[in-house]
Amino acid sequence: MRREHPVRTLCRLLEVSASGYYAWRRREPSARRMHDTDLKRRIAAVHRRSRGNYGAPRIVAELRAAGTPISKRRCARLMREMRLRGRKRQQRRPRTTDSSHGKTVSANLLAERPQPTGPDEVWVSDITYIKTREGWCYLAVIMDLWSRMIVGWAVALTLHAGLAIAALYRALACRKPRPGLMHHSDRGSQYADGDYQNILAEHHIARSMSRAGNCYDNAAAESFFSTFKTESGIEESIPPDHRDVELASFDYIETFYNRTRRHSSLGYLSPVAFENQRFEHDTKTA
């Protein structure tokens, strides 16, 4: 606008003095504005490290952990100014498992048990479908309910019991749980399979299954799949084949979710940080 009209004409129309305008131009940025600029740089860096997933609450937790005090309100305002936002979960219809396979199912022991207070007390497991350009493939996971750590996972082209068994063996090798662990799943045929049940028995793991047709009994695992599909972008990109799904699963679970992603249910710590915090506390009090 200054190129089209003289500054003095514009100042007269806006009823401000020309000297005041030039003084404003020469004025140094305020301390708050400079602080906002620095915060924007830090916020953008955290948002980038989170792969574009974090909204204001998790970014605030990350900044505070790094020694940068900031309120959620201020962070949200600065994110709006930068047009940054976290990824929102898509509303998904909970799927129910077909339990009409005729195999033996277990009672729902999880419903009667208090919340776990340490690692390897309760594992929950589930399987989800992922679309690729060559067709469907499947991801099975096992989660430690206490820390939300994914302790075992596997990808396969079929829904046979071997997929669930591969995830279970991975979890057993990773954690080496003591007797007393409870394993909870839905009533799917993969988890009712005789070989799967025998492995649980060999390791003295108690078996628990959701009530028929009630996916909310296994809500933690269902929630993970929703988070995984939203934050990894795997549904938007549609991987070429199951090998790409396996690579994407490794990248998200092992390098981001377990080690970095902050959980509101864990006081905005990652699963690894949450477990390490408990280990450090136990070591100090021993």
Task: Please tell me the predicted confidence (pLDDT) of residue 113.
Answer: 86
Task: Please tell me the predicted confidence (pLDDT) of residue 171.
Answer: 97
84 vs 30 pLDDT, higher one: 84
Task: Please tell me the predicted confidence (pLDDT) of residue 85.
Answer: 87
**Average pLDDT score over the chain:** 86
Three-state SS across 9-70? HHHHHHCCCHHHHHHHHHCCCCHHHHHHHHHHHHHHHHHHHCCCCCCHHHHHHHHHHCCCCC
Task: Please tell me the predicted confidence (pLDDT) of residue 216.
Answer: 64
Model confidence pLDDT, tens digit, residues 215-266:
567 889 989 999 999 999 998 889 999 999 999 999 999 999 999 999 999 9
Model confidence pLDDT, tens digit, residues 120-176:
999 999 999 999 999 999 999 999 999 999 999 999 999 899 999 999 999 999 999
Nearest to 122 by CA among 141, 144, 142, 106: 144
Task: Please tell me the predicted confidence (pLDDT) of residue 117.
Answer: 94
Nearest to 175 by CA among 286, 271, 282: 271
- What is the average pLDDT across 3-26? 70
Task: Please tell me the predicted confidence (pLDDT) of residue 101.
Answer: 53
> Residue 280 contacts by C-beta under 8 Å, 6 or more apart in sequence?
none
Model confidence pLDDT, tens digit, residues 103-114:
678 889 988 888
Q: Is the pLDDT of residue 183 over 80?
A: yes
125 vs 280 pLDDT, higher one: 125
Q: In the structure encoding, which two tokens stand for residue 149, read together?
A: 């750590």
- What is the average pLDDT across 21-37? 74
Q: What are phi and psi of 105, to 5 degrees?
A: -115, 160
Task: Please tell me the predicted confidence (pLDDT) of residue 92.
Answer: 52
Q: What CA–CA distances, in Å, run from 58 to 79, 86, 169, 231, 261?
A: 12, 9, 33, 14, 9
The model's pTM is: 0.77
Task: Please tell me the predicted confidence (pLDDT) of residue 28.
Answer: 63
Task: Please tell me the predicted confidence (pLDDT) of residue 1.
Answer: 47
Model confidence pLDDT, tens digit, residues 34-92:
888 899 999 999 999 988 889 999 999 999 999 999 999 999 999 999 899 888 766 55
Q: Is the pLDDT of residue 286 over 50?
A: yes
Q: Is the pLDDT of residue 213 over 60?
A: no
Paired residues of 154 in beta bridges: 140
